Amino acid sequence: MRVLVIGAGGFTGSYLFSIIGRKHEAIGTSTQDKSFRKLDLAEFNETSKILKEIKPNAICLPAGITNLDYIEKNPSKSRKTNVLGTKNIADYCKENKCKLIFFSSDAIFDGNKGPYLENDAPNPASEYGRQKLEAENLVKELDDFIIIRTSSIYGWNKRKLNFVSRLIEELRNGKEVKAPIDQFYTPTYVIDLANASLKLIEKGIIGIYNISGPDFINRYDIAVNVCKIFHFEKKLIIPVKSYDLKQTAKRPKYGGLISKKAAKELGMKFKGLKEGLKGMRSMQNT
């Protein structure tokens, strides 16, 4: 199978590219990483041309603008990539019988009563969530698609830091870190996410799947667990409320996802936070 990973230089995309690439022909794209083919989702004609040339059997789309506060301040610029860029890919898939695997988020829910199941009613509270939902609705029109919803992904990442890897870097430098006690997620180990994505593709599954860890936990407690597993001083973690962080985009109070459907259908057990962090610790010098 020839699988195109759009955004192979990104966090999730880099794991997808390497895990899928072990068993299939994987082709990666990036807007800036020169080791991949250049593809900008906002350049519609050029993107269509590249797709027609590569002729993939499946396209993984973890790419897009993911900075919530940037998106809140720049809705039309980010919408061009996140929504219209996705539409362009979906149009190609429809015309060319190509499977589309689109990565979405728990941010499509309002965050008042998470963790959420696949069939809970979406009601995004941020521009990022609205764009993700709009893109999902375009992808759902296809005959052959998978929408993978996930929450608070963590793991080592060479290029851009996530909540956990940023925390580790700051704690290593002896810095204090503010962590909100009122933002709950279900942290997702990036390797589980990539492995589950490959299994979904290989099984020929169609539909919406939550892929997330089993622990429903707030950012402060995530940080405390990081201290325990990586032997940092807990006193460096300062519990705060979301209000104190003055973030532009609204964050969910109770976000997160329940991944029972994927665990059952794929026969997988997704790692809890402690197990995922231990996995990171064992990889840190590799």
Ligand X SMILES: NC(=O)c1ccc[n+]([C@@H]2O[C@H](COP(=O)([O-])OP(=O)(O)OC[C@H]3O[C@@H](n4cnc5c(N)ncnc54)[C@H](OP(=O)(O)O)[C@@H]3O)[C@@H](O)[C@H]2O)c1
The residue (of 82 and 232) whose beta carbon lies closer to ligand X is 82
Cα torsion 237, 239, 242, 247: sign: negative
Rule CB under 6 A: is residue 152 a binding residue for ligand X? yes
Q: Angle at CA 50, nearest 5°, toward 44 and 53?
A: 140
**What is d(CA 198, CA 213) in angstroms, rounded to the nearest whole number?**
17
**What is d(CA 200, CA 207) in angstroms, rounded to the nearest whole number?**
10
Among 13, 155, 180, 256, binds ligand X (CB under 6 A): 13
In the complex, the smallest distance separating the C-beta of residue 113 from ligand X, rounded to whole angstroms, is: 18
The residue (of 13 and 174) whose beta carbon lies closer to ligand X is 13
Could you give phi then psi for residue 211, rounded to 5 degrees? -125, 110
Q: Which residue is nearest to ligand X (CB)?
A: 10
The residue (of 13 and 56) whose beta carbon lies closer to ligand X is 13
Rule CB under 6 A: is residue 225 a binding residue for ligand X? no
Structure tokens at 247: 């973030």
Residues that bind ligand X (rule: CB under 6 A) add up to a total of 29
Among 42, 84, 161, 240, binds ligand X (CB under 6 A): 42
Rule CB under 6 A: is residue 11 a binding residue for ligand X? yes
Mask: binding to ligand X, 49-88, rule CB under 6 A, as x and -? -------------xxxxx--------------x-------
Element at 94 (helix H, strand E): helix 85-96
In the complex, the smallest distance separating the C-beta of residue 235 from ligand X, rounded to whole angstroms, is: 26
Q: With H, G, I as helix, E, B as strand and everything else as coil, classify residue 193.
A: helix
Query: Are the CB atoms for 270 and 211 separated by under 8 Å?
Result: yes
Where on the phi/psi map is residue 63: left (φ > 0), alpha (ψ -120 to 50), or beta?
beta
Report 227-286 residues binding ligand X (CB under 6 A). none
Q: Is 183 exposed, middle or buried (0-12, 13-18, 19+ CB in 10 A)?
A: buried
**What is d(CA 87, CA 81) in angstroms, rounded to the nearest whole number?**
9
The residue (of 12 and 259) whose beta carbon lies closer to ligand X is 12
Element at 220 (helix H, strand E): helix 219-230
Report 22-41 residues binding ligand X (CB under 6 A). 30-33, 39-41
Mask: binding to ligand X, 99-118, rule CB under 6 A, as x and -? ----x-x-------------
Among 10, 115, 124, 155, binds ligand X (CB under 6 A): 10
Rule CB under 6 A: is residue 127 a binding residue for ligand X? no
Rule CB under 6 A: is residue 160 a binding residue for ligand X? yes
**What is d(CA 55, CA 65) in angstroms, rounded to the nearest whole number?**
25
Contacts to ligand X by CB under 6 A: 6-7, 9-13, 30-33, 39-42, 62-66, 81, 103, 105, 150-153, 160, 162
